[in-house]
Amino acid sequence: MSQHAKRTYSSPLREEAARRTRATVVDAAARLFVDRGYVSTTVKQIAETAGVAVRTVFTAFPGGKSELFREALDAAVAGGSADSAGDDPAPAERSRPGRVASGPAGSDAERIVEQVVRYGADLLERAGGLLMTSVESSGADPDMRRFADEDARATADNARTIAVGLHRHGLLRDDVSVDHAAHVLYTLGSPQVHALLRRDCGWDVDEYRAWLTATLRATLLR
């Protein structure tokens, strides 16, 4: 076998091994960040949990914990494996509940709310733990403050998009302004409320979805 043939054969194997290692490290980091918090988690603990050397972690993620958190969050938001995390859009471009906000003309209010709740709940089921990690660690770490602020801005922007869409289609109650609707959507669809009900109160996801749907309907819609 020629040297060229050996390289052609072995390179894909090495690339696949590198992807698997990267995914394993990201998954380990995500679990530790959620379970122990960002500040308390060390790269050494991540390496041990992933079953790799510390040097391997830094080779794959030169940015250390901050880069690992970004990779883990992007993978969770995208809903795929950690292998595809690097292909995810920037925070402001992530798929969020507000992407269905304005809807096509003729969409009824209940269908829009159901779509918003479904997309939002699915996102928070995947990424809510990491988003709460950034919120809870934001006072102790500047990177976590940045992540928390980015998500808050994205959530607020999408909430306003939803509110504007409902208003344009004449679906908001007469006594509910766009600003008020945006604030309600921002608050009730937040990772904080999701964590309170799902984690602290022990609600199952169907109970959470049903409550959020009913509350948004009663609070905002005609």
**Domain of residue 81, residue span:** 3-88
CB 200 within 8 A of CB 137: no
Mapping DSSP onto H, E and C, the string for the chain reads CCHHHHHHHHHHHHHHHHHHHHHHHHHHHHHHHHHHCCCCCCHHHHHHHHCCCHHHHHHHCCCHHHHHHHHHHHHHHHCCCHHHHHHCCCHHHCCCHHHHCCCCCCCCHHHHHHHHHHHHHHHHHHHHHHHHHHHHHCCCCHHHHHHHHHHHHHHHHHHHHHHHHHHHCCCECCCCCHHHHHHHHHHHCCHHHHHHHHHHCCCCHHHHHHHHHHHHHHHHEC
pLDDT at 13: 81
Mean per-residue pLDDT over the chain, rounded: 86
Residues 40, 111, single domain; the answer is no
Identify which has the larger pLDDT, 37 or 6: 37
pLDDT surpasses 50 at 169 = yes
Tell me the mean pLDDT in the region 118-122: 95
Tell me the mean pLDDT in the region 33-42: 96
CB 29 within 8 A of CB 18: no
pLDDT at 98: 43
Over pLDDT 90: what percentage of the chain? 75
pLDDT surpasses 60 at 99 = no
Confidence of residue 3 (pLDDT cuts 50, 70, 90): low
Residues 26, 43, single domain; the answer is yes
Residues 110, 208, single domain; the answer is yes
Q: Which of 41, 72, 88 is the last residue before a domain boundary?
A: 88
Q: Which of 48, 72, 88 is the last residue before a domain boundary?
A: 88
Residues 78, 9, single domain; the answer is yes
The domain tally of the chain equals: 2
Confidence of residue 83 (pLDDT cuts 50, 70, 90): very low
Residues 174, 193, single domain; the answer is yes
Q: Rounded CA gap, 45 and 62, in Å?
A: 16
pLDDT at 107: 57
Confidence of residue 12 (pLDDT cuts 50, 70, 90): confident
Q: Which of 37, 60, 88 is the last residue before a domain boundary?
A: 88
pLDDT at 10: 56
